């Protein structure tokens, strides 16, 4: 089981390390990450959630929980390797922003990585990801508007503001 550090809104540890799915108290959070991956043709790597997961069949960017002792960029690299088999280079990453998800007691760090992606070389994690593809930002926005892409913040505005 993955262990996470409980933090407050200012990211200060509160002195507890718990299993990832532990119910947290008001004012307590755990850290999660989203890793957006943009190739050199300005396409974004997205993955389809396995059918057995919540929001099964929906498309999303890669992401997951930050385990105890790990930084958010380390978690972004690890989660991407686990879910789609792509080894991100930390030096290709840029921190974009953080969001609070009060309903799940999470602070989400959003990263953008700029590096080449070869779809044929990716190895998908069976119970996490059913497929992957590269799409333009315009296609991504259309997918979101059609209810195919899962996002809880204005990813289009965020990605448009980056010159990376």
Residues 6 or more apart in contact with residue 2 via CB below 8 angstroms: 19, 20, 65, 67
Number of domains in the chain: 1
pLDDT > 90 fraction of the chain, expressed in percent and rounded: 88
Which range of residues forms the domain containing residue 93? 3-160
- d(CA 139, CA 149) in angstroms, rounded, equals 10
Q: What is the pLDDT of residue 164?
A: 64
Q: What is the pLDDT of residue 154?
A: 84
- d(CA 64, CA 130) in angstroms, rounded, equals 16
pLDDT in tens, 116-137: 999 999 999 999 999 999 999 9
> What CATH number is given to the structural domain containing 72?
3.90.79.10
- d(CA 74, CA 31) in angstroms, rounded, equals 12
Q: What is the pLDDT of residue 159?
A: 85
Residues of the chain with pLDDT under 70: 164
């Amino acid at each position: 089981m993955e262990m996470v550090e409980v933090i407050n809104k200012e990211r200060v540890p509160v002195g507890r390390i718990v299993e990832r799915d532990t119910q947290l108290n008001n004012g307590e959070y755990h850290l999660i990450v989203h890793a957006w991956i943009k190739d050199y043709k300005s396409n974004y790597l997205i993955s389809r959630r396995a059918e057995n997961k919540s929001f099964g069949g929906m498309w999303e960017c890669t992401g997951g929980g930050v385990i105890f002792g790990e930084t958010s960029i380390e978690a972004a690299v690890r989660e991407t390797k686990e879910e789609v088999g792509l080894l991100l280079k930390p030096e290709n990453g840029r921190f974009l922003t953080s969001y609070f998800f009060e309903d799940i007691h999470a602070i989400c760090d959003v990263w953008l990585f700029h590096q080449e992606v070869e779809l044929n070389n990716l190895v998908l994690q069976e119970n996490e990801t059913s497929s992957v593809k590269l799409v333009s930002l315009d296609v991504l926005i259309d997918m979101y508007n059609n209810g195919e892409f899962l996002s809880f913040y204005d990813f289009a505005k965020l990605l448009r503001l980056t010159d990376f």
